[in-house]
Structure 1
Amino acid sequence: MALLLHKGFDALDVAFRGQISKRLTAFLDSKKSEAQETGIPVLATYNGLKFHVAPSGGSGGYAFICNTGKTGAIWKLKRPSPSGDWGLFVSVSAIRIALHGLAKVRDYLVDTLKKFDVVYLEGSERINRVDFAFDFLMPDFVLTEDRFVMGQRFGRCKAGIIGEPYRADGKSNRVTGVTVGKNPGRQVVIYDKRLQIMTVRDKMFWLEIWNENLERAGLPPIDITVPEDSRVWRIELRLYKNILKGDTYKVTSFGTLERKLELMFNQVLADVRYVLPTNDSNRSRWPNHPIWDRVQTELKSELAAQHSNLPMGRVVEIQRDEKTQMLDRQISGCIIALAGLHEVKPKQFVDYARQTMGQILARYEKDPADTKRKLKLALSRYACERIEK
């Protein structure tokens, strides 16, 4: 039996009609030049908004790339031009859209536009991508690539981990993910979400989301250290710009997106199905796998209102703890490696570690200007990852 742990949006890309001001352009030019000197993004604050400015622009004529952090969004901005008015493009972080949902994210984007000196007019946007995901606890589920029935327009299946080449569990050679379809059309993706959060950085907050939902339902938390009991599978539906703005749906604004979400996602599930094999030689007559019917049932809720109850600040804390533990392990590992290089015996190691830390502190004190410069860069790097209410 499949237990639903989470459902909600996972990606949102939007283009906006409008252009940034000359004042902001001059400000971004100065920050971009500063970033080009070091080759790394620099921290900027404009109208109270903190973001990093990249040392280069982006394809499509975007002069500036501004990143408000892992819990924010990546903005691509064009220079003001009389020949074109689609001057802004934004990709919302998966964390923000999952936690806040569509309506709240729309308000967040409008507020950011205001801080960028852009006057937002309702309907002056074009939705380029929207993803919706379902996470099910299904320890006994076995993903089989040849159980998809689809039309030709969906293209070939691709097996593997999301964002990586084909990869299978070393013990069982099992399939851990399948992608059907391609950008800029539609995609259906099924993959082992537990495996992803165990192997990809900054994903562990999903465990907190799942366990919070389980607690609200009066159920015990997942023990992720036991794969046989904690296998979570994600089913993800993706709509790209060719489908959204095509003649069939003509989705442009947030309003039309909200009205047509259920219709579009149901059509995806009808055009590509995960099925149970029978003796029938005609695959198109094979019945849906129960999980496919379950997803269709879950789509009947008000999708635009879906969001997680986990506070954004908690996600930031989780990611900060993950980063801290990783850096602690690296520091400890480097000191042990140094000890091995200098043939330090186990009984001498504690004294050697203290001595090494003393030498590091002495190095900081010897060149305080360089230490201050590097610390400033470190503070800048994480400045956008602040605690939010």
Structure 2
Amino acid sequence: MTAFGIPYVETQLRVARADFAVNFRAPWFEPDREALIVPPGTKATEYTGVDETATVSSGGRVRGLRAGAIANRQIAIYDKRAEVIQSNKLGWLTIWNAARMSSGHPAIDLSDRNTSQVWRFEMRLGSKQLRNKFELRNWDDIRNSIGDAFTNATRRIRYCEPTLDSNRARWPPHSLWRLFKAIIANDLMVNCCGVLPSDVIQANRAAKMRELDAQLCGLFVTRAAISDVQADDFEEFMDQHVAALMRLSDEHATDLNERLTKAKARYHLK
């Protein structure tokens, strides 16, 4: 931006999407849509759509799964080897072989699918997750808490090992999914703060409501005392006075919706 002569400040930066992917050499694996456990409301069909689960197959072999919306939270499990070959992205072969050779394993030969099959598990977080739920707006936010966001995502979506149990929620996580979660937890450990912004917002909201309730109670007691209300009559006084307050609100010069909007903006409680 400096080279183009375009000035900017940190507050103008906006992170709109973050992805975390792990490539597994697993010739024995084939995605199963039934094994993908997603939150209620997430569609799971074989129709290829942006916000739905997509089953991509070649002949009788499933090539990939996708669940969720890219603007929110999305998991993609697909045949990375096929993509590398079809798109001629041989740079990935160089990366994979460098990693394998450094750990004492032989290089991958893409001509042999039985030994070179690579599946990618990729979690994608869009703006609804980053900005709306986790309050991640700039690079400092990402460095501080992106690990919390991805860890939360792997709890909301799971790829499981199907069993005879009719309750899919009790299915155990697949071995590759356990490894996927472990890699996220390890690689993003320094990018976790352990507290979700939504938890902080909820705690602040509850504290403010308790504070206002205490103030309201004190005001009612004071109002009753001025009106010479006795303790035995206090409950009846409150019931009657609520009706009077409603009439006072109806007679207010400013519309109630406008007053509520201003009050929400003043406290910034989501």
Question: Above 0.5 in TM-score?
Answer: yes
Unaligned runs of 5+ in 1: 1-112, 307-389
What residue number does 2:86 align with? 199
The equivalent of 2:231 in structure 1 is none
Residues 159, 175 of structure 1: CA spacing in aligned structure 2 closer, same or farther, 3 A cutoff? farther
CA drift of 1:152 comes to 2.2
Aligned residue for 2:26?
138
Task: Indicate if the aligned counterparts of 2:17 and 2:127 stay in contact, CA closer than 8 A.
Answer: yes
Aligned residue number for residue 169 of structure 1:
58
SS at match of 1:300: helix
Q: 1:189 to 1:250 in 2, by over 3 A?
A: same
Output the CA distance in 2 between the equivalents of 1:302 and 1:277. Answer: 28
Among candidates 252, 262, 270, match of residue 147 of structure 2 = 262
Counterpart position of 2:128: 242
Q: In structure 1, how many angstroms separate the alpha carbons of the residues matched to 2:21 and 2:183?
A: 11
Displacement of 1:259: 1.6
SS in 1 for 2:137: coil
TM-score for the superposition, normalised by structure 1: 0.45
- 2:117 aligned with 1:228: no
Q: Match for 1:208 among 75, 94, 104? A: 94
Aligned partner of residue 152 in structure 1, secondary structure: coil
- % of aligned pairs identical? 30
Contact 1:145 1:175 in 2 (8 A): no
- Asked if residue 217 in structure 1 is aligned to residue 103 in structure 2, the reply is yes
Q: Is the 8 A contact 2:147 2:189 kept in 1?
A: no
Alignment of 1:1-389 (within 5 A): 113-158=1-46, 167-170=56-59, 173-201=60-88, 203-246=89-132, 248-303=133-188
Shift of 1:123: 4.3
- The one-letter code of the counterpart of 1:168 is S
Q: Letter of the aligned partner of 1:289 in structure 2? A: H
Distance 2:20 2:11 in 1: 22
Structure 1 residue 204, shift from structure 2 partner:
1.6
Q: Normalized per residue, which structure has more strand?
A: 1
Amino acid of the residue matched to residue 57 of structure 2?
A: A
Whether contact under 8 Å (2:55, 2:66) holds in the other structure is no
User: Aligned to 2:115, what secondary structure does the other structure show?
Assistant: helix
Instruction: Return the alpha-carbon distance in structure 2 between the equivalents of residues 238 and 296 of structure 1.
Output: 14
Structure 1 residue 220, shift from structure 2 partner? 0.9
Does the C-alpha gap of structure 1 residues 288 and 220 become closer, same or farther in structure 2, counting only changes over 3 Å? same
Q: TM-score scaled to structure 2, two decimals? A: 0.64
1:293 corresponds to which letter in structure 2?
Answer: R
Unaligned runs of 5+ in 2: 192-270
Change (3 A) 1:271 1:158: farther
Which letter maps to 1:169?
Answer: S
Structure 2 distance, partners of 1:271, 1:157, is 19
The AA in structure 2 aligned to 1:150 is V
SS of the residue aligned with 1:236? strand
| Kept in 2: contact 1:191–1:235 (CA 8 A) | yes
SS at match of 2:20: strand
Alignment RMSD: 2.3
Aligned letter for 2:99? N
Q: Secondary structure at the match of 2:57?
A: coil
CA contact under 8 A between 1:194 and 1:232: conserved in structure 2? yes
